[in-house]
Structure 1
Amino acid sequence: MGNVPTVDPPANCTIDACPVSTSFYDYRINLAANLAFLVLFSLLTFVYLAVWLAARHGHAYAVVMILGTISEIIGYAGRVWSYYDQWNETPYLIQIICLTIAPAFYSAGIYLCLAGIVRIFGEDNSRVRPLWYTYIFVPCDIIALILQAAGGALAATSIDGASDTSELNTGVDILLAGLSWQVFTLTCFLVLCADLALRIRRRCRKLGIAVALSQDPVSVGIRTTRRFQYFLGALSLATILILWRCAYRVAELNDGFSGPITYKQGLFIGFEGVLIVVAATLMVVAHPVVCMRGSFVGQSKAASEG
């Protein structure tokens, strides 16, 4: 995320008066890239909100996705602010916390989709009841979010040049635990999705589509559309991208806020910014409310009744 000074930087530092190594970053922030991410996530927020207002259902999905994009907006606004004053602690703390926790909201949105997918293919293809995917993975995501938020906040408030770095190290450890837990949860989710896909394929070969898959007219109508096929591909790719990003952040924080990966702005732009903006875009272009239609509504109703 940036270079954390071990001593206070010279007073009244500016980009012309002090080297960037004395700031909270070990590089000159790329203004164009951060402004681009700020604009893109603002547009995505508008699109998510527009779909939500037009559809008037899929509330949980809309809320978590919008919370994710808003966190990104605040985080990149902090980085843009830092461009004009890389020695200001406030925007540095803002971008640490907000950009770290934002993808956890997208993970929650992904987890909300699987129950509807199982219903469309048929519950007999799944090892567990559809809503158990939500009951298991969403709480796991909440744990990751809490750990990342608490660790990020503790680490951020400890970055003040104090000689005692115990709180900073504790915060980084908690943050790293949250990111590692998110990587583990996403990996388990992908394994279960792969298992579901294999079971569907094997049962179709053995029993035939008419027996292996749900023959409910609504499910058949959704399953046979090209839009639903695109949705499955987009959701899978978005999950992999978020997992990739989380793995990068684990590697980045493995040596705290001053590891060698931290100093490479290109990696941050590519593996934090680009991966997540692509994932968030995929998840709104292939929106489950549109691509799963009644099945996603049914999931929401079932969740409220169960």
Structure 2
Amino acid sequence: MSTRVRVNYPDYDASEAAAIVFVVAFGISAIAHIAQASMRKSWWMWPLIVGVLGEVAGYLTRYLSITQSTNTDLWLASMLLIILAPNFLAATDYILMARLMLFVAPELSVISPKWIGTIFIACDLLALALQGAGGGSLGSVRTPASLNRAKAILISGLVFQLITFGLFAVVILVFWQRCKRAGVPKGPWVKLMAALAASAILILIRSVFRCIEFSKTTLGVVGSRAFVRSEAVIYVLEAVPILASCVVFNVIHPAWYLPNNKRERVGKGSEGLEGTSPTEEKNLRETTTVV
């Protein structure tokens, strides 16, 4: 008995217009991020740029797969890009949290900021490898057993990412609570902390949705029925949260609030913080309001 991977979900007609809308939206965000990172010389933001460009490519190939419904390779490419791109956004959150802790109060972190990036990015790479291996092998399945094996690997990557990011959210929460109790000086960095928390929540929402979706869908089997019966659900719970996670850092760009020099500390009278406006530098040095 053989199986094949479907080009599109069996229970709805995919929209070309919706795919193009998100190609344009992610494209605008990507262009803005490239300009912002270049102007501020914040090269540590490039994982986010890779992720946003991955989303552009994902929804572009989704559009192409709709217009060429017999091309299975395009559908697989679209699915993989859209699934994998948020891993780079998650990596950006890990990097930002480590830098923010180093800047504000490294001694208040439940995990040393020097290890946060290493630990969580390693977990992110493992999740990326599992998702890539599972999703990539869908194109070569020939039997129900091989299909189930590919699906299991893909889901394990998604679940591992969800658990990792859930633990990361706890690290953010603990750090924030410790800052409040310790009376850490309040400043513009709090705005970045809020943006980081928003990004984490949005990625968590998307991750929960993907875990449920793939666990409930008999992906690729002829005659199967998908868990999601409306394309709008995919956009509301996948595309919109990830786009918002990208845009929040266009509006509150980390380089405006964090120095490129990791040795700088908030409230220590640092001069000439790179990536920070003169007004923000003054606030960082002089504010006495506590969290």
What TM-score, normalized to structure 1?
A: 0.78
In the alignment, the residues of structure 1 paired with residue 123 and residue 209 of structure 2 have an alpha-carbon distance, to the nearest angstrom, of 20
Equivalent in the alignment of 2:107:
124
Residue 287 of structure 1, CA deviation: 1.7
Report percent identity of matched pairs.
26
In the alignment, the residues of structure 2 paired with residue 120 and residue 60 of structure 1 have an alpha-carbon distance, to the nearest angstrom, of 15
Residue 130 of structure 1, CA deviation: 1.5
Judging changes above 3 Å, is the alpha-carbon distance between structure 1 residues 120 and 39 closer, same or farther for their aligned structure 2 residues?
same
Equivalent in the alignment of 2:20:
35
Write the letter of the residue equivalent to 1:252: E
Deviation per CA, 1:211-261, whole angstroms, max 9, x where unpaired? xx3xxxxxx6xx523xx3322211111111101101100000103425542
Write the letter of the residue equivalent to 1:55: R
Equivalent in the alignment of 2:126:
143
Equivalent in the alignment of 1:47:
32
Choose which of 148, 157, 166 in structure 2 pairs with 1:178.
Answer: 157
Equivalent in the alignment of 2:45:
61
Choose which of 42, 56, 60 in structure 2 pairs with 1:73.
Answer: 56
Deviation per CA, 1:98-119, whole angstroms, max 9, x where unpaired? 1110100000000001122212
Task: Pick the structure with more helix per residue.
Answer: 1
In the alignment, the residues of structure 2 paired with residue 52 and residue 269 of structure 1 have an alpha-carbon distance, to the nearest angstrom, of 28
Residue 123 of structure 1, CA deviation: 2.1
Choose which of 205, 228, 250 in structure 2 pairs with 1:262.
Answer: 228
Query: For 1:262, what is the secondary structure of its paired residue?
Result: coil
Equivalent in the alignment of 1:93:
76
Residue 294 of structure 1, CA deviation: 4.3
Say what the alpha-carbon RMSD is for the aligned residues: 2.2
Please say if residues 24 and 87 of structure 1, whose CA atoms lie closer than 8 Å, have aligned partners that are also in contact.
no
Equivalent in the alignment of 2:67:
84
In the alignment, the residues of structure 1 paired with residue 176 and residue 261 of structure 2 have an alpha-carbon distance, to the nearest angstrom, of 18
Equivalent in the alignment of 2:178:
199
In the alignment, the residues of structure 2 paired with residue 96 and residue 152 of structure 1 have an alpha-carbon distance, to the nearest angstrom, of 8
Query: For 2:228, what is the secondary structure of its paired residue?
Result: helix
Choose which of 196, 200, 208 in structure 2 pairs with 1:247.
Answer: 208
Query: For 1:254, what is the secondary structure of its paired residue?
Result: helix
Equivalent in the alignment of 2:278:
none
Comparing 254-263 and 107-116, the one that deviates more:
254-263
Comparing 279-288 and 118-127, the one that deviates more:
118-127
Equivalent in the alignment of 2:270:
none
Please say if residues 120 and 295 of structure 1, whose CA atoms lie closer than 8 Å, have aligned partners that are also in contact.
no
Judging changes above 3 Å, is the alpha-carbon distance between structure 1 residues 297 and 154 closer, same or farther for their aligned structure 2 residues?
farther
Equivalent in the alignment of 2:187:
224
In the alignment, the residues of structure 1 paired with residue 112 and residue 78 of structure 2 have an alpha-carbon distance, to the nearest angstrom, of 39
Deviation per CA, 1:136-166, whole angstroms, max 9, x where unpaired? 11111111111111111012332xxx4x122
Write the letter of the residue equivalent to 2:229: Y
Kindly report which structure 2 residues correspond to 1:1-40, keeping only aligned pairs within 5 A, or say none. 6=3, 24-26=8-10, 27-40=12-25
Structure 2 unmatched runs, 5+ = 266-291
Judging changes above 3 Å, is the alpha-carbon distance between structure 1 residues 259 and 138 closer, same or farther for their aligned structure 2 residues?
farther
Equivalent in the alignment of 1:281:
247
Structure 1 unmatched runs, 5+ = 9-21, 205-212, 214-219, 300-306
What TM-score, normalized to structure 2?
A: 0.82
Query: For 2:110, what is the secondary structure of its paired residue?
Result: coil
Asked if 1:109 is matched to 2:75, the reply is no
In the alignment, the residues of structure 2 paired with residue 131 and residue 284 of structure 1 have an alpha-carbon distance, to the nearest angstrom, of 26
Judging changes above 3 Å, is the alpha-carbon distance between structure 1 residues 44 and 69 closer, same or farther for their aligned structure 2 residues?
same
In the alignment, the residues of structure 2 paired with residue 243 and residue 203 of structure 1 have an alpha-carbon distance, to the nearest angstrom, of 28
Equivalent in the alignment of 1:217:
none
In the alignment, the residues of structure 2 paired with residue 47 and residue 132 of structure 1 have an alpha-carbon distance, to the nearest angstrom, of 30
In the alignment, the residues of structure 2 paired with residue 297 and residue 70 of structure 1 have an alpha-carbon distance, to the nearest angstrom, of 31
In the alignment, the residues of structure 1 paired with residue 263 and residue 73 of structure 2 have an alpha-carbon distance, to the nearest angstrom, of 42
